[in-house]
């Protein structure tokens, strides 16, 4: 027969074990929330325009700030090089857009700056298309739409930066074709 002290001691052991497990679960949840919040804050620093719901989906999809910068800025470069040349207005507009997403001394900015003087290889466009298609398929329709609209707005601004003659033909046919190709990537699932 159990004595009162032995039963009481076993009860404390049971309580300690129970609360220890609960504490571990709570700690794991807290750590996961902190990691999520940190990743979300990092993404918000490069895309301050994005609503919370999109940032949450990006974090859940495992998207990093660097990946997002590459995914959103590459179409600008691709469009500017559509006619096989980049003029100074397009270059300036791209670098201005880049400063919204990354610091001028960052690796991403330096890489983008290099792409304004020498066109990136077509293989990079192929990789961007594949990644963006897969990524967009993982987003909710509203988030995908928000991202598409933002990227396409910036892409059109780059195409219009070169101007045209007396304001006519601001976007060349080659740039318009490239813009349509880029937009199609965001619309496929």
Does the pLDDT value for residue 179 go beyond 90?
yes
- Give the range among 60-64, 125-129, 184-188 with minimum mean pLDDT: 60-64
pLDDT digits (tens, 9 = 90+) for 63-85: 787 778 888 889 999 999 998 98
* pLDDT score of 12: 80
Q: How confident is the model at residue 166 (pLDDT cuts 50, 70, 90)?
A: very low
Separation between Cα atoms, residue 34 and residue 178, nearest integer Å: 40
pLDDT digits (tens, 9 = 90+) for 107-118: 778 888 999 999
pLDDT digits (tens, 9 = 90+) for 20-56: 666 667 666 767 777 777 778 877 777 666 778 878 8
Average pLDDT over residues 88-113: 86
Average pLDDT over residues 137-162: 88
Buried b (16+ CB within 10 A) or exposed e, 109-124: bebbeebbeebbeeee
* SS (HEC) of the chain: CCCHHHHHHHHHHHHHHHHHHHHHHHHHHHHHHHHHHHHHHHHHHHCCCCCHHHHHHHHHCCCCHHHHHHHHHHHHHHHHCCCCCCCHHHHHHHHHHHHCCCCCCCHHHHHHHHHCCCCCCHHHHHHHHHHHHHHHHCCCHHHHHHHHHHHHHHHHHHHHHCCCECCECCCCHHHHHHHHHHHHHHHCC
């Amino acid at each position: 027969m159990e004595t009162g002290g032995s039963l009481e001691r076993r009860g404390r052991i049971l309580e300690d074990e129970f609360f220890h497990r609960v504490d571990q679960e709570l700690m794991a949840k807290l750590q996961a929330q902190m990691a999520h919040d940190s990743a979300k804050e990092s993404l918000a620093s490069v895309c301050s325009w994005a609503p919370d719901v999109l940032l949450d989906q990006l974090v859940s999809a495992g998207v990093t700030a660097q990946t997002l910068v590459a995914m959103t800025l590459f179409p600008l470069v691709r469009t500017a090089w559509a006619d096989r040349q980049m003029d100074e207005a397009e270059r300036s507009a791209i670098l201005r857009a880049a400063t919204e997403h990354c610091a001028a001394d960052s690796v991403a900015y330096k890489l983008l700056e290099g792409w304004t003087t020498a066109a990136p290889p077509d293989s990079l466009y192929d990789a961007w298309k594949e990644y963006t298609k897969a990524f967009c398929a993982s987003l909710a329709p509203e988030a995908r739409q928000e991202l598409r609209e933002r990227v396409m707005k910036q892409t059109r601004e780059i195409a219009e930066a070169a101007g045209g003659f007396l304001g006519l033909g601001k976007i060349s046919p080659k740039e318009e074709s490239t813009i349509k190709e880029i937009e199609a990537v965001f619309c496929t699932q």
